[in-house]
Structure 1
Amino acid sequence: MSFDHLFKFLVIGDSSVGKSCILLQFTNHRFQPIHDSTLGVEFGTRMIEISESRIKLQIWDTAGQETFKTITRSYYRGAVGCLLVYDITLRESFYHVQNWLQDVLEYSGPQTQIILVGNKTDLQGQRAVSTEEGKKFAEEHKINFIETSAKTANNIDEAFLEISNIIFNKIKNGEITVEQDQFLQMESNNEEIQSIEDNRKKKNEGCC
Structure 2
Amino acid sequence: MAGNVNIEGESVSKIVLIGDAGVGKSNILARFARRELCVEFRPEFASVMLKARALPDLVEGKMVKVQIWDTAGQERSRAVTSAYYRGAVGALLVYDITRRETFDNIQRWLRQLRDRADSNIVIMLAGNKCDLNLVRAVQREEGEALANTEGLMFLETSALDAMNIERAFQASLTQINHIKRLRALAAQETAAAASRRDRGTTINVADASRLRNRIWCCSI
Distance 1:95-1:55 versus aligned 2 partners, 3 A rule: same
Is residue 153 of structure 1 aligned with residue 150 of structure 2? no
Deviation at 1:52, TM superposition (A): 3.9
2:143 is matched with 134
Deviation at 1:160, TM superposition (A): 0.6
Q: Which residue identity does 2:118 align to in structure 1?
A: G
Task: Give me the whole-angstrom Cα distance separating, in 1, the residues matched to 2:141 and 2:34.
Answer: 31
Q: Which residue of 1 aligns with 2:91?
A: 82
How far the C-alpha of 1:54 sits from its partner, in A, is 2.5
Mind listing any 5+ residue stretches in structure 2 that lack a counterpart?
1-6, 189-220
Alpha-carbon distance, 1:48 to partner: 1.1
Once residues 39 and 27 of structure 1 are traced to their aligned partners in structure 2, the CA distance between those partners, rounded to angstroms, is 11
User: Cα deviations across residues 22-44 of structure 1 (Å, max 9, x unaligned)?
Assistant: 00000111112222568986653
**Residue 25 (structure 2) aligns with:** 19
User: What SS class does the counterpart of residue 65 from structure 1 fall into?
Assistant: helix
Report % sequence identity: 36
- The equivalent of 1:69 in structure 2 is 79
Q: What CA deviation, in whole Å up to 9, does each residue of 1:123-151 have, x standing for no partner?
A: 11110000000000000101110000001
Runs of 4+ in 1 over 6 A off after TM superposition: 37-40, 175-179
- Residue 58 of structure 2 is aligned to residue 32 of structure 1: no
Following superposition, the deviation at residue 169 of structure 1 comes to 1.3
2:16 matches 1:6: no
Larger helix fraction of residues: 2
Report the Cα distance in structure 2 between the residues aligned to 1:5 and 1:12, rounded to whole angstroms. Answer: 23
Amino acid of the structure 1 residue aligned with 2:105: H
User: Following TM superposition, by how much is the alpha carbon of 1:172 offset from its aligned partner in structure 2, in angstroms?
Assistant: 1.5
Q: Which residue of 1 aligns with 2:122?
A: 113
Tell me how far apart the structure 1 counterparts of residues 47 and 187 of structure 2 sit (CA, whole Å): 28
| Aligned counterpart, 1:167 | 176
SS at match of 1:174: helix
> Structure 1 residue 178: deviation in Å?
6.3
Give the TM-score taking structure 2 as reference length.
0.73
* Aligned partner (choices 49, 53, 65) of residue 56 of structure 2: 49
For the pair shown, which has the larger CA radius of gyration, 1 or 2?
2
Aligned-residue RMSD, C-alpha: 2.5
| Deviation (angstroms), 1:49 | 2.5
Alpha-carbon contact 1:41-1:60 (below 8 Å) kept:
no
Q: Secondary structure at the match of 1:173?
A: helix
C-alpha separation between the residues in 1 aligned to 2:89 and 2:64? 13
Task: Return the TM-score normalized by structure 1.
Answer: 0.77
Q: How many residues align?
A: 178
Cα deviations across residues 99-123 of structure 1 (Å, max 9, x unaligned)? 0001110011112100100000111
Native 8 Å contact 1:43 1:58 kept in 2: no
CA distance in 2, matches of 1:25, 1:31: 6
Per mean C-alpha deviation after superposition, the further-off stretch among 53-62 and 97-106 is 53-62
Instruction: Kindly indicate whether structure 1 or structure 2 has the higher relative contact order, using CA contacts under 8 Å at least 6 residues apart.
Output: 1
The gaps in structure 1 that reach 5 residues or longer are: 180-208
Which structure has greater strand proportion?
1
Between the aligned partners of 1:59 and 1:178, the Cα distance in structure 2 is: 27
Secondary structure, counterpart of 1:117 in structure 2: strand
